[in-house]
Structure 1
Amino acid sequence: MLRPVALLLIFLASSPALAVETMRIAMSEARTEVQVSGQGLAFGTDTEDATFHPLGARQVTVRRKGRKLEVNGAPVVGDAVRFRAGALSYDAGVPGDEPLRAGDMQVRGDVVVRLYRDGLQLINVIPLEDYLTAVLGSEMPVSFPAEALKAQAVAARTYALQKKLEAYGSAFYLGSSVLHQVYGGVNREDPRTRAAVEATRGEVLTYELAPIEAYFHASCGGRTESGQAALQRDLPYLQAVECPCGKLPASRWSADVSEAELRSALSGSPEGLRIAGRTGTRRVSRVTTADGTTLDGARFRQRLGYTKLKSLDFEVEKTAHGYSFTGRGYGHGAGLCQWGAKALADGGWEYREILSHYYPGAELQQLY
């Protein structure tokens, strides 16, 4: 059963005028100039109740001139300007639905261009459910079963709201890269992802009436990792659980790493490289070398590269040309396993059961 969470409504809308829940997503950074384009392009201040003024052009150039902004050569007041496509057909406080392009991304909602460091920063202000539709298309194959997509939608919504609560009042709440949730804009939307978002609209996972830190990853290799071991986050709903993805070919990987690559990662000789510690799920927690160099497993993976060393569940052996790594899983291993969710959905599980399995102790509740 879903229960309303009245206490969480406190942080939802940033102003009474805002009719929908929105996110502020950092899209990218530009040097000193960026092009913004869209049908019926208009601009206003970076406020939720801004009045938008038609620009009479489908494309404009925003430039930084010292500590000032210019739009098509005309100075604007303040350190940020907000753009909307089709602005005249939308209510104040509700980001536009007509796509617009800023830099190399096409997005729904509004785009803010603001002074940032020595250049410009682009921020997408977008309704949460539209944002999730594109996140799903970026984070999970759209061919996955509907119940797996729904589980991912709830996890992504919960993660986004928790980050918004954490960063409330900041210029943006999340980035658009793998360091946050991958967000590719309009090009990553799909009818199946929109259906999954709509089917779970407003549903979030909570623990003690607060959105959980709903981490997720591609594949755990057969057993998820605890939040403490994977992320140094000792959270009661991020516990190690069994997962069917370990039987899937997609969970297996191998990588050949040269001695030079290892020397760079270790900042020293890789001679005698060995695994010196493992977590309770047998993920590598520490590596050492013959000269006494010791490196934390997570830092070792970061230095070698996340796409090279796909997880910390690996074995390593020296070869004639370097070192050979063989492993299972892809990602940090905490929370929802996407390939595991697929396997469970293929086996008849519905999304509520999937979420309960990967986030034990969390409650699924209707936030709005």
Structure 2
Amino acid sequence: MWRPVALLLLLLVPLRAPAVETMRIAMGDAQGEVRVSGKGLSFGSDTEDAAFTPLQQDGVVVRRRGSRLELNGAPVIGSAVRFRAGVESSDAGTPGDSAIRARDMEVRGDVVVRLYKDGLQLINVIALEDYLAAVLGSEMPVSFPSEALKAQAVAARTYALQKKLEAYGAPFHMGSSVLHQVYGGLNREDPRTRAAVVATRGEVLTYELAPIEAYFHASCGGHTESGWDSLQRDLPYLKAVECPCGRLPASRWSATVSDAELRAALGQPTEGFRVTGRTSTHRVSRVSVAGGASVDGAQFRRKLGYTKLKSLDFDVEHTQGKWHFTGRGYGHGAGLCQWGAKALADGGMSYRDILLHYYPDTELQQLY
């Protein structure tokens, strides 16, 4: 079902809001100083109705001096300062569209530098739809079919809005790493990602009129995993469903690990190492060693390394002093499978049907 949800918009957009939905994305931390640059650079307070004052230069160094900030050596009032490029006079409202650089990352929108712990924190305030165009280029190959890209756009938009609601009142809503959604800034945009975002503008997935936790991953290996078994999130729309990605070479992987590596991951000797628990989709839920010591599957994968152990759907054998893992899938397995979405799109399925396949019992709704 697809229908507008006006009430959700009131929850997401404050009364004195800019004209478009925005996100606050943590770009990382800095030590004592950071350089911010952009053509026509201006600065103001970190508020949505701030007036911006032109700096008459295209770059500035922000330094921390004790408990205050300095711009090119001049003190400024407050614990944060917000920068915008392309502003020729006093302005307020929606973050700008001109490129602005902080450290080694170029982004659209505004950049906030704030006092944080003993250093500085950088935050990108960006229009949601601009943010999504860069997320798609970071999270999914731009060569994928347009219907797969559209499905990813809706999932990423939904995930972002749910995180924004969850982080209400916090300095930022999400990070820019794989722990949330990978966001590489302006250089990750592509005409195909922009087209997918525009084609699905304002569309979100909801369950009982709230944005869902729209988790996604690279490849499930043939079956997605339930929210509880993969993430300890008992959500009715994160169910184990069949997926065509299991037939693709991209879903297969192998890894060889030495005794020393395995011992470090387990925190125990490797004698008697074996799989002692699996979920209904064959993913490892627990491993054990001689003497009864055991480790949760997700914890074991994290300690051994996500790039080494690409998923928990694996088998293992010990030969010639080494441990050989053979597995299926890449990622936690919950929600949208990106390679599965590609296969379904190649088969003619629309992005809406793809989304409802991976998030059953949800509704696709027009939020704005």
Aligned residues of 2:50 and 2:91 also touching (Cα < 8 A)? no
Aligned to 1:173: 173
Cα shift readout 1:148-206 (whole Å, capped 9, x = no counterpart): 00000000000000000000110000000000000000010000000000000000000
Counterpart of 1:22, as a letter, is T
Q: Does 1:27 align with 2:30?
A: no
Taking only aligned residues, the RMSD between alpha carbons, in angstroms, comes to 1.0
Counterpart of 1:111, as a letter, is V
Aligned to 2:211: 211
CA distance in 2, matches of 1:88, 1:15: 27
Q: Does 1:342 align with 2:342?
A: yes
CA distance in 2, matches of 1:30, 1:15: 33
Aligned to 1:276: 276
CA distance in 2, matches of 1:172, 1:81: 14
CA distance in 2, matches of 1:358, 1:91: 43
- Tell me the SS of whatever aligns to 1:129: helix
Aligned pairs (5 A) from 1:240-319 = 240-319=240-319
Aligned to 1:152: 152
Q: CA deviation at 1:91?
A: 5.4
Q: CA deviation at 1:321?
A: 3.6
Please say which of residues 313-322 and 67-76 is displaced more in the overlay.
313-322
Structure 2 portions without partners, runs of 5+: none
Cα shift readout 1:124-143 (whole Å, capped 9, x = no counterpart): 00000000000000000000
- Tell me the SS of whatever aligns to 1:194: helix
Q: Does 1:200 align with 2:197?
A: no
Aligned pairs (5 A) from 1:227-238 = 227-238=227-238
- Tell me the SS of whatever aligns to 2:142: coil
Cα shift readout 1:225-279 (whole Å, capped 9, x = no counterpart): 0001001111110000000000000000000011111111111111111000000
Q: Does 1:113 align with 2:113?
A: yes
CA distance in 2, matches of 1:212, 1:295: 30
CA distance in 2, matches of 1:31, 1:279: 44
Aligned residues of 2:54 and 2:90 also touching (Cα < 8 A)? no
CA distance in 2, matches of 1:256, 1:219: 20
TM norm structure 1: 0.99
Q: CA deviation at 1:9?
A: 1.3
Aligned residues of 1:266 and 1:293 also touching (Cα < 8 A)? no
Aligned residues of 1:15 and 1:48 also touching (Cα < 8 A)? no
Q: Does 1:95 align with 2:95?
A: yes
- Tell me the SS of whatever aligns to 2:88: helix
Counterpart of 1:314, as a letter, is F
Aligned residues of 1:13 and 1:19 also touching (Cα < 8 A)? no
Q: Does 1:78 align with 2:78?
A: yes
CA distance in 2, matches of 1:234, 1:242: 19
CA distance in 1, matches of 2:127, 2:204: 16
CA distance in 2, matches of 1:329, 1:44: 47
- Tell me the SS of whatever aligns to 1:87: coil
CA distance in 2, matches of 1:91, 1:361: 44
- Tell me the SS of whatever aligns to 2:318: strand
TM norm structure 2: 0.99
Aligned residues of 1:269 and 1:291 also touching (Cα < 8 A)? no
Q: CA deviation at 1:331?
A: 0.2
Aligned residues of 2:63 and 2:70 also touching (Cα < 8 A)? yes
Q: CA deviation at 1:288?
A: 0.2
Structure 1 portions without partners, runs of 5+: none
CA distance in 2, matches of 1:89, 1:195: 32
Counterpart of 1:177, as a letter, is S
CA distance in 2, matches of 1:101, 1:256: 41
Aligned to 1:52: 52
Q: Does 1:42 align with 2:35?
A: no
Aligned to 1:11: 11
CA distance in 2, matches of 1:29, 1:126: 18
Counterpart of 2:103, as a letter, is G
Aligned residues of 1:313 and 1:328 also touching (Cα < 8 A)? yes
Q: CA deviation at 1:283?
A: 0.3
Counterpart of 2:192, as a letter, is R
CA distance in 2, matches of 1:314, 1:280: 13
Cα shift readout 1:28-48 (whole Å, capped 9, x = no counterpart): 100111000000000000000
Cα shift readout 1:340-368 (whole Å, capped 9, x = no counterpart): 00000000001000001000000000000
Aligned residues of 2:52 and 2:91 also touching (Cα < 8 A)? no
CA distance in 1, matches of 2:174, 2:163: 7
Aligned to 1:161: 161
Q: CA deviation at 1:6?
A: 1.8
Please say which of residues 264-273 and 199-208 is displaced more in the overlay.
264-273
Aligned to 1:324: 324
CA distance in 2, matches of 1:20, 1:135: 18
Q: CA deviation at 1:325?
A: 0.4
- Tell me the SS of whatever aligns to 2:317: strand
Q: CA deviation at 1:17?
A: 4.4
Q: CA deviation at 1:23?
A: 0.1
Aligned residues of 2:53 and 2:89 also touching (Cα < 8 A)? no
Aligned pairs (5 A) from 1:123-162 = 123-162=123-162
Q: Provide closer, same or farther for how the CA distance between residues 332 and 89 of structure 1 changes in structure 2, counting only shifts above 3 A.
A: farther
CA distance in 2, matches of 1:344, 1:154: 16
CA distance in 2, matches of 1:81, 1:4: 37
- Tell me the SS of whatever aligns to 1:365: strand
